[in-house]
C-alpha cells in the first residue's frame, strides 16, 4: 500500500485529494494536511466583501467532508520535507505542526511514498509597510474572514457617504510584484455596484491602482480577444468597463508604503506619489509558505528544492535568459520535481520559470510588473493531471503519465461586475493558451478563435451557478465527479 500525502487543501490540493480518493482510495492511503479547518471557495470572497454572501456560503468544514471518504485529514502546518529520510528514518517524510487548539504546537513526522505540495501562497502583506488588515491600513478579500472585515469597513464608508461625506476608494494591488489582479478587478466593480444600489455613487471617487503596464494585462502579457465579430485587446476592453462606470485608474505603480488614509507609490518613470483614501482594498504579493528541505544527513537543501521566492521547482526550464528568448516550452508539464520522482507541486506552490508579462522596472530599478497567475482552472487542471499520474505510478508506471502545461491549456474566467439577479453583470473571458505561444500563434500568441470576451447579465447567472456547482463538487456530494473542474 502506498501513502500519498497532500500538503494544502485549497483548489489544487482538494482537487488532487478528491480524484485520488476516487481512483485509488480503497487500495492506498491518502493524507491531506492543511492548517485551515475550512475549505474556502476564494472566487466568491468578493461577494462576501460587499455583503452579498455570508461566510458560510463560501466555506465548509474539511474534516466533515473527508470523514465520508478514505482520506485522512490533519489540521496542521507543513514545516519541512526530508525527501531522503534521515539517520533515524530511511523513508522520506514531511514534518508538520498541528494547529488544532488542543494539539497546537505538537509536531509529527509523516512518512510518504508520494508527496503533493499544494500549499498555495503566503499572503505577503509584510512586503509593503502598512499593507493589510492585520497590521496595516487596508482591507483584503483573500480569505473569507478578511472579506467579512472588508465588508464591515465598506458599509461604514457607505454610511459616511449617506451622511454627506465625499469618499475616495482605492482598489488594486499593493506591491509592484503582485499577481491575481482578477480578485481586485472583480471587487472594484462590485463595490461600484453596491454604491449605486445604496444611492451614494455620486459621493465616491473610485480609483484602480495596479502594477500592470496597461489595463487588462492580468499578469498574462495582455490578451487579444474576439468580441462582437472583431478583435480587440484587453486594454481597450478593461478601459471601456472603467470609463462606463466612472472609475479612474493608475497603472505601472508599485506601492511602497501605506499610512492611515494615504498610499505612497512609485511609477515607472521613478517619480513618487501619494494618494489619499477613505477605504482601500489592495491585494498583497504572494510568496512560498516557507517550507524547508533537508537531505538524509540533515543538511539544508531548501535552495535546491525551492526557488528564492519559496515556490517549489518542478520540470520547468529555469535557465536565466533574456525576455525575447523565453518560450512556451519553458513551462512545466508534469509538475514533478527534478531530483525526486515522488514529489510534485501544483497550483500556486510551483515556481514558474519566468513571468508571462514582460519584466519592467522603474527608473530607480524597482520591479513593477505582474507575476504569472496560476489559480482557478489551471490549478485544478494541474491537480487532476498529477492525481492521474500518481494513480498510474503506484500501479507500476515508471514516470508521470499525464501533463497539464499552462502553455497548452486554456482557461475561462467569469469576473463579476455586480451581483444582482436582474441587474447584475459579469465579464466572461476565455484564453487559449494561458501562456502565449508565439511560435504556434505568431499574430497574438493565442488562438483567437478560442480567446474571446463578453459582458452581460448572462455572465452573472453563469458565475452564480458555477459558485453553487463548485461548492457542491468540493463537498463531494453524489455525482460530483461529472462536474468539470
What are the pLDDT tens digits along the chain (485 aa)?
A: 999 999 999 999 999 999 999 999 999 999 999 999 999 999 999 999 999 999 999 999 999 999 999 999 999 999 999 999 998 888 999 999 999 888 889 999 999 999 999 999 999 999 999 999 999 999 999 999 999 999 999 999 999 999 999 999 999 999 999 988 889 999 999 999 999 999 999 999 999 999 999 999 988 888 888 777 788 888 998 999 999 999 999 999 999 999 999 999 999 999 999 999 999 999 999 999 999 999 999 999 999 999 999 999 999 999 999 999 999 999 999 999 999 999 999 999 999 999 999 999 999 999 999 988 888 899 999 999 999 999 999 999 999 999 999 999 999 888 999 998 889 999 998 999 999 999 999 999 999 999 988 899 999 999 999 999 999 999 999 999 999 88
What pLDDT score was predicted for residue 149?
Answer: 98
Could you give the count of Cα atoms lying within 13 Å of 303 in the half-sphere of its Cβ?
Answer: 2
Q: In the chain, what is the greatest distance between 2 CA atoms, to the nearest angstrom?
A: 70
What pLDDT score was predicted for residue 477?
Answer: 96
Q: Provide the grid cell at 161.
A: 457617504
What pLDDT score was predicted for residue 101?
Answer: 86
Instruction: Measure the CA–CA gap between 92 and 97, rounded to whole angstroms.
Output: 17
What pLDDT score was predicted for residue 279?
Answer: 98
Give the predicted TM-score (pTM) of the model: 0.96
- 140 to 45, 115, 129: CA distances (angstroms): 10, 31, 15
Instruction: Measure the CA–CA gap between 447 and 441, rounded to whole angstroms.
Output: 6
What pLDDT score was predicted for residue 223?
Answer: 87
Neighbours of 91 (CB within 10 A): 13
What pLDDT score was predicted for residue 232?
Answer: 85
- Closest Cα partner for 291 from 274, 270, 305, 276? 305
What pLDDT score was predicted for residue 65?
Answer: 97
Q: What are the DSSP calls for 414-450, one per residue?
A: EEES---TTT--EEEEEESSSS--TTTSTTTSS-GGG
Task: Tell me how far the alpha carbon of residue 394 is from its chain's centroid.
Answer: 30
Q: Provide the grid cell at 473.
A: 463538487
What pLDDT score was predicted for residue 21?
Answer: 97
Contact 44, 467 (CB under 8 A): yes
Contact 433, 408 (CB under 8 A): yes
Phi first, then psi, for residue 266 (nearest 5°) are -115, 145
Instruction: Measure the CA–CA gap between 59 and 39, rounded to whole angstroms.
Output: 5
Cα torsion for 192, 193, 199, 200, to the nearest 10°?
-10
Amino acid at each position: 500500500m502506498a501513502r500519498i500525502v497532500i500538503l494544502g487543501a485549497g483548489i489544487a490540493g482538494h482537487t488532487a485529494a478528491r480524484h485520488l480518493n476516487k481512483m485509488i482510495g480503497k487500495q492506498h492511503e491518502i493524507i491531506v494536511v492543511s492548517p485551515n479547518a475550512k475549505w474556502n471557495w476564494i472566487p466568491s470572497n468578493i461577494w462576501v466583501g460587499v455583503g452579498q454572501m455570508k461566510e458560510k456560503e463560501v466555506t465548509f468544514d474539511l474534516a466533515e467532508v473527508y470523514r465520508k471518504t478514505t482520506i485522512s485529514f490533519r489540521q496542521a502546518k507543513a514545516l519541512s520535507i526530508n525527501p531522503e529520510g534521515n539517520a533515524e528514518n530511511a523513508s522520506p517524510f514531511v514534518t508538520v505542526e498541528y494547529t488544532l487548539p488542543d494539539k497546537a504546537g505538537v509536531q509529527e513526522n509523516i512518512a510518504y511514498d508520494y508527496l503533493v505540495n499544494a500549499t498555495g501562497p503566503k499572503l505577503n502583506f509584510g512586503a509593503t509597510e502598512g499593507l493589510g488588515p492585520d497590521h496595516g491600513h487596508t482591507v483584503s478579500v483573500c480569505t473569507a474572514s478578511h472579506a467579512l472585515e472588508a465588508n464591515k469597513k465598506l458599509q461604514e464608508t457607505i454610511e459616511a457617504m449617506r451622511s454627506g461625506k465625499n469618499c475616495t476608494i482605492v482598489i488594486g494591488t499593493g506591491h509592484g510584484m503582485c499577481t491575481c489582479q482578477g480578485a481586485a478587478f472583480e471587487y472594484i466593480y462590485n463595490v461600484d455596484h453596491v454604491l449605486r444600489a445604496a444611492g451614494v455613487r455620486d459621493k465616491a471617487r473610485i480609483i484602480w491602482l495596479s502594477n500592470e503596464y496597461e489595463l487588462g494585462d492580468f499578469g498574462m502579457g495582455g490578451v487579444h480577444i474576439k468580441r462582437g465579430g472583431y478583435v480587440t485587446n484587453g486594454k481597450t476592453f478593461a478601459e471601456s468597463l472603467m470609463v462606463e462606470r466612472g472609475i479612474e485608474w493608475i497603472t505601472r505603480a508599485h506601492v511602497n508604503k501605506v499610512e492611515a488614509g494615504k498610499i505612497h507609490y512609485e511609477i515607472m518613470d521613478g517619480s513618487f506619489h501619494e494618494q489619499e483614501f477613505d477605504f482601500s482594498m489592495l491585494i498583497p504579493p504572494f510568496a512560498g509558505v516557507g517550507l524547508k528541505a533537508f537531505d538524509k544527513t540533515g543538511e539544508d537543501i531548501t535552495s535546491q528544492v525551492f526557488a528564492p521566492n519559496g515556490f517549489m521547482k518542478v520540470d520547468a526550464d529555469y535557465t536565466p535568459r533574456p525576455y525575447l528568448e523565453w518560450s512556451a516550452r519553458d513551462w512545466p508539464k508534469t509538475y514533478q520535481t527534478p531530483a525526486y520522482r515522488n514529489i510534485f507541486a501544483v497550483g500556486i506552490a510551483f515556481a514558474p520559470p519566468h513571468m508571462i508579462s514582460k519584466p519592467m522596472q522603474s527608473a530607480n530599478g524597482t520591479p513593477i510588473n505582474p507575476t504569472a497567475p496560476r489559480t482557478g482552472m489551471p490549478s485544478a487542471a494541474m491537480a487532476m493531471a498529477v492525481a492521474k499520474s500518481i494513480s498510474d505510478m503506484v500501479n507500476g508506471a515508471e514516470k508521470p503519465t499525464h501533463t497539464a502545461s499552462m502553455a497548452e491549456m486554456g482557461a475561462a474566467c467569469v469576473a463579476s461586475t455586480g451581483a444582482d439577479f436582474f441587474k447584475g453583470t459579469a465579464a466572461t473571458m476565455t484564453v487559449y493558451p494561458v501562456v502565449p505561444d508565439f511560435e504556434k500563434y505568431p499574430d497574438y500568441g493565442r488562438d483567437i478563435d478560442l480567446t474571446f470576451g463578453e459582458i452581460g447579465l448572462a455572465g452573472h447567472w453563469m458565475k452564480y451557478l458555477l459558485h453553487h456547482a463548485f461548492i457542491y463538487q468540493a463537498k463531494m456530494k453524489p455525482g460530483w465527479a461529472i462536474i468539470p473542474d
